[in-house]
Amino acid sequence: MSLINQNILKFEKWLQPSFFYFLLCFLLLLNILVWFVWNKRVDFETHPEVISTLQAEKERLIKILEIPCGNINSEITGNQEVGNVAPGTFVGPDDSTDGQDKLVKLLQNAAVLVSHDKGYGSGFFIDQNTIITNRHVIEGVSGNIVLISNRTIGRAINAKIISVSRASDVGSADFALLRIESSLPGIKPLSISSTQPVPLQRVVSVGFPGSGIQTDANKEFPSPIFTSGDVSAIQPQPNGVAFVVHTADISPGSSGGALVDRCGSVVGVNTFVRGNENKAEGRRLFALSGESLRQFLGASGQPYTKSEVCKSKSQN
């Protein structure tokens, strides 16, 4: 018998079925062990802090998705939080018919015509008794009393001037606070955005320009005029005031009216228009920023509702 045949016989004797299966099982177990060593599973027992962090992030993202228009944050005086805000003051910004109807209803119930024997302008409620307007709208009024009205109120009522900014010159913080004696049904105050708007953000102007009042058959309690546009620029001034330049059309009588985002939060107070000295450039529309308004309210000790960033289901 050849040497090769002898070696084959020896190998066949050595490789008995029982030993073969034992060797196969051993190799399988070894492979499984190596796989688990190189592919450790993260679980609660081994890494509880990782799982806890991931779960918290998951819950945060779910809440963001459930609230498309951001959150109502809190009511503040200056920088001090004094309580939670009741739901229902922050509306969805989506461009559906229902979303637009909610925004229109909110603004119709918040905007007011401010009038007196020297002229008129616009304003808006920031709580059930307090209205914001421009100082130049109520300047020169005798007796410290003006009239406010809208269709929700249904009549003209007295509002007392309780605080004004130092000046009303173009470029200054041109604000005034009005107060009515008792709250009225149907009034919907506006919250004030906690952040500055950004260029190309969509905005809406609401107010009572003279052209709108003249063409409204019910001139005593006309409907507010809505115009939409975009933010063109934010222009900080040396005195600390910031302007929001935008394209949501305004005209005389719009002064003191709100400039809002698609959630209905105030991002500015419409104040003045610069004419077309250079006809190629056209008119420039200016609102005092929400940040400047917050500074004025803080200096006046006036509480207000602050809202977070407006997040839309649709693209801005």
| Residues 188-220: tens digit of each pLDDT | 999 999 999 999 999 999 999 986 676 666 666
Q: Which of 11-20, 215-224, 234-243 has the lowest mean pLDDT?
A: 11-20
Exposed e or buried b per residue across 164-178, where buried means at least 16 C-beta atoms within 10 angstroms of its C-beta: bbeebeeebbbbbbb
Q: Which residue has the higher pLDDT, 280 or 56?
A: 56
Across the range 4-8, mean pLDDT stands at: 60
Say if residue 6's pLDDT is above 80. Answer: no
The mean-pLDDT minimum among 57-66, 127-136, 288-297 falls in 57-66
Residue 161 has pLDDT above 70, yes or no: yes
What pLDDT is stored for residue 77 in this prediction? Answer: 36
Is residue 288 a contact partner of residue 240, using CB atoms and an 8 Å limit? Answer: no
The larger pLDDT score, comparing residue 114 to residue 23, is at: 114
Domain ranges of the chain: 3-64, 71-307
Is there a contact between 113 and 120 (Cβ–Cβ < 8 Å)?
yes
Most confident of the ranges 1-15, 27-41, 193-207, 277-291? 193-207
What span, in angstroms and rounded, lies between the C-alpha atoms of 177 and 175? 7
Q: Do the bridges between strand 192-193 and strand 130-133 make them parallel or antiparallel, or are there none, so unpaired?
A: unpaired
Kindly report the CA angle at 75 between 108 and 102, in degrees rounded to 5? Answer: 25
Q: Is the pLDDT of residue 315 over 50?
A: no
Residue 67, pLDDT score: 45
What pLDDT sits at residue 192? 97
Q: Report which of residues 189 and 34 the model is more confident about.
A: 189
- For residues 259 and 144, which has the higher predicted lDDT (pLDDT)? 259
Q: What pLDDT, in 10s, does the model give residues 35-76?
A: 666 555 445 455 555 566 666 666 655 555 554 444 434 333
In this prediction, residue 305 has a pLDDT band, given cuts at 50, 70 and 90, of: very high
- Hey, what are 92's tokens? 């969805």
| Residue 79 in this model has a pLDDT that exceeds 80 | no
| CATH fold label, 71-307 | Thrombin, subunit H (2.40.10)
pLDDT of residue 198: 95
pLDDT of residue 69: 46
- Give this prediction's pTM: 0.69
Report the percentage of the chain scoring pLDDT > 70: 66
Write down the pLDDT at residue 133: 98
Mean pLDDT of 14-35: 69
Mean pLDDT in the chain?
A: 79
